């Protein structure tokens, strides 16, 4: 019989009455519970990322790695890579998520040549396929790591050296091939070859280089529209990137959704007082509620999902911390879903919005919405109707009502 990597930890259960410190169970996330006609797990589509959770070692610019795992000897051998992957699937299963995500270099060691690297990838994706079949865990998306290797220090597809660009393109080709092999529901980057998933592109400001072409949702949307690519892509929004770009937590989720381009969410958070991408587990109930409200309003994220692009702090060195962090975040989003569903069911807040925009449902307002009102017509309307009256914006009322749902 094969090794158990998490001895003493069984499948995480839903216990609505758990004590505050009983953190190895869900108090809110109840996968099969039906909310607004769908199960919680179908609304939330949780995914664990391989990079932070199985490759992160807790190093930072000030310190060496702190995180050591019993199943990982730190070597770049295929044997170690396989152990790691088996541990990962046990984790996915015990935690109770249905999806995982990875970069090519997370799962297979690089060889001396691209050909050797690709053979390693073939072998590792064979194992992944087998484990996916055994456990029922599916691939939310895969992507290519076009940044860690020093060859990409000056950029990948934006590199000033055509040789590097060619290398990146060749790597993308292989990435698409393995995505297809594993039935990825999405691919976080570029270009097609018989691949049936949704292409995703993720905005990111300030890191790893000061200037990033894909600063935020609107920058990416503008870029895609400029190059005629808007029909080929949706956006994968990472809220920690959104806040680094100077926006509210859920701003890019809303903007991407408003333009019909919200594909998936890399569910994490930063600290508003820190200026870099801390990739913390999302624990804010109000933000989770507002994000889930947008997701409900667009009728879900499928084929995308909520992928935890989040890492335990470098001081959280226990194996148990991996579970606690994911459970805490899943409970947070389960609360967000419940809250948002109640907001939708009650309809009070929608009524407030409808009232706010009521003047656009008839008369000149409706003509304006339809793009049929000329400047002359507006001027004439004012000459007859005179000055508009003042209407309170009621921001505090919106805030207070939202709080009643938290």
Active site residues: 103
**Can you tell me the distance from the alpha carbon of 218 to that of 72, in angstroms, rounded to the nearest whole number?**
41
Evaluate whether 265 touches 306 at the Cβ level (below 8 Å): yes
Where do we find the tokens 């992944």? 128
243 is a contact residue toward its own copies (CB under 8 A): yes
10 is a contact residue toward its own copies (CB under 8 A): no
Site for its own copies in 262-281 (CB under 8 A): 271-277, 281
283 is a contact residue toward its own copies (CB under 8 A): yes
Question: Shortest approach of its own copies to residue 351 CB, angstroms?
Answer: 8
Question: Shortest approach of its own copies to residue 335 CB, angstroms?
Answer: 8
Site for its own copies in 121-150 (CB under 8 A): 147-150
Q: Which of 183, 109, 108, 113 lies closest to 142 in space, CA to CA?
A: 183
Nearer to its own copies, 47 or 159 (CB): 159
Q: Contact region for its own copies (CB under 8 A) — 7-15, 36-44, 96-104, 322-330?
A: 322-330
Site for its own copies in 72-111 (CB under 8 A): none
Per residue, the 3-state secondary structure of 323-358, as one string, reads HHHHHHHHHHHHHHHHHHHHHHHHCHHHHHHHHHCH
Helix (H, G, I), strand (E, B) or coil at 302: coil
50 is a contact residue toward its own copies (CB under 8 A): no
Site for its own copies in 333-372 (CB under 8 A): 346, 348, 352, 356-357, 359-360, 363-365, 368
Question: Shortest approach of its own copies to residue 159 CB, angstroms?
Answer: 8
Using CB under 8 A, count the residues that bind its own copies.
129
Q: Contact region for its own copies (CB under 8 A) — 41-49, 72-80, 154-162, 294-302?
A: 154-162
Question: Shortest approach of its own copies to residue 359 CB, angstroms?
Answer: 4
Evaluate whether 268 touches 52 at the Cβ level (below 8 Å): no
9 is a contact residue toward its own copies (CB under 8 A): no
Site for its own copies in 176-235 (CB under 8 A): 176, 191, 193, 205-208, 210-211, 215-216, 218-219, 221-223, 225-226
Q: Based on C-alpha coordinates, what's the Rg of the chain? A: 24
401 is a contact residue toward its own copies (CB under 8 A): yes
CA angle 278, 280, 281 (to 5 degrees): 165
* Interacting residue with its own copies among 20, 37, 136, 194 (CB under 8 A): 20
Written as one string, the DSSP assignment of 44-96 is H-EEEEHIIIII----BTTB------TT--S---HHHHHHHHHHHHHHHHHHT
Question: Shortest approach of its own copies to residue 337 CB, angstroms?
Answer: 15
Q: Contact region for its own copies (CB under 8 A) — 7-15, 124-132, 164-172, 296-304?
A: 164-172
Question: Which pair of tokens denotes residue 49?
Answer: 């990322």
**Can you tell me the distance from the alpha carbon of 217 to that of 231, in angstroms, rounded to the nearest whole number?**
15
27 is a contact residue toward its own copies (CB under 8 A): yes
Question: Shortest approach of its own copies to residue 356 CB, angstroms?
Answer: 5
Please report which helix (H) or strand (E) contains residue 121, including its range.
Answer: helix 114-135
Written as one string, the DSSP assignment of 236-268 is EE-HHHHHHTTS-TTHHHHHHHHTT-EEEEE--
What lies within 8 Å, CB to CB, of 183 at 6+ separation is 138, 139
Nearer to its own copies, 130 or 271 (CB): 271
């Amino acid at each position: 019989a094969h090794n158990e990597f998490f001895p003493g930890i069984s499948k995480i259960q839903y216990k609505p009455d758990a004590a505050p410190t009983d953190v190895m169970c869900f108090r809110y996330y109840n996968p099969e519970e039906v909310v607004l006609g769908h199960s919680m797990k179908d609304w939330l589509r949780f995914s664990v990322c391989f990079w932070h959770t199985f490759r992160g070692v807790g190093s930072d610019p000030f310190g060496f790695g702190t995180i050591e795992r019993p199943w990982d000897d730190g070597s770049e051998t295929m044997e170690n890579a396989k152990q790691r992957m088996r541990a990962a699937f046990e984790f996915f299963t015990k935690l109770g998520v249905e999806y995982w995500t990875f970069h090519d270099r997370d799962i297979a060691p690089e060889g001396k040549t691209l050909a050797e690297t690709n053979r390693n990838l073939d072998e590792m994706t064979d194992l992944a396929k087998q484990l996916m079949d055994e456990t029922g865990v599916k691939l939310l998306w895969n992507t290519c790591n076009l940044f860690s290797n020093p060859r990409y220090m000056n950029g990948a597809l934006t590199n000033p050296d055509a040789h590097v660009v060619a290398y990146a393109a060749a790597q993308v080709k292989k990435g698409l091939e393995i995505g297809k092999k594993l039935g990825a529901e999405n691919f976080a980057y570029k270009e097609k070859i018989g691949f049936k998933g949704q292409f995703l592109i993720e905005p990111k400001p300030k890191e790893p280089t000061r200037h990033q072409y894909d600063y935020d949702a609107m920058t990416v949307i503008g870029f895609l529209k400029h190059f005629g690519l808007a029909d080929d892509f949706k956006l994968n929004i990472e809220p920690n990137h959104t806040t680094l770009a100077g926006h509210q937590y859920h701003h890019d989720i809303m903007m991407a959704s408003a333009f019909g381009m919200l594909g998936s969410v890399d569910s994490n958070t930063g600290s508003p007082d820190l200026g870099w991408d801390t990739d913390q587990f999302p624990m804010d109930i109000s933000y989770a509620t507002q994000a889930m409200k947008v997701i409900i309003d667009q009728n879900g994220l499928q084929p995308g999902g909520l992928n935890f692009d989040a890492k335990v702090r470098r001081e959280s060195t226990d194996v148990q911390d991996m579970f606690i962090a994911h459970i805490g975040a899943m409970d947070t989003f389960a609360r967000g879903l419940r809250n948002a569903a109640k907001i939708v069911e009650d309809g009070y807040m929608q009524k407030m919005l409808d009232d706010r925009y009521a003047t656009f449902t008839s008369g000149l307002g409706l003509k304006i919405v339809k793009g049929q009102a000329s400047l002359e017509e507006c001027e004439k309307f004012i000459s007859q109707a005179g000055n508009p009256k003042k209407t309170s914006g009621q921001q505090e009322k919106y805030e207070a009502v939202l709080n009643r749902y938290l």
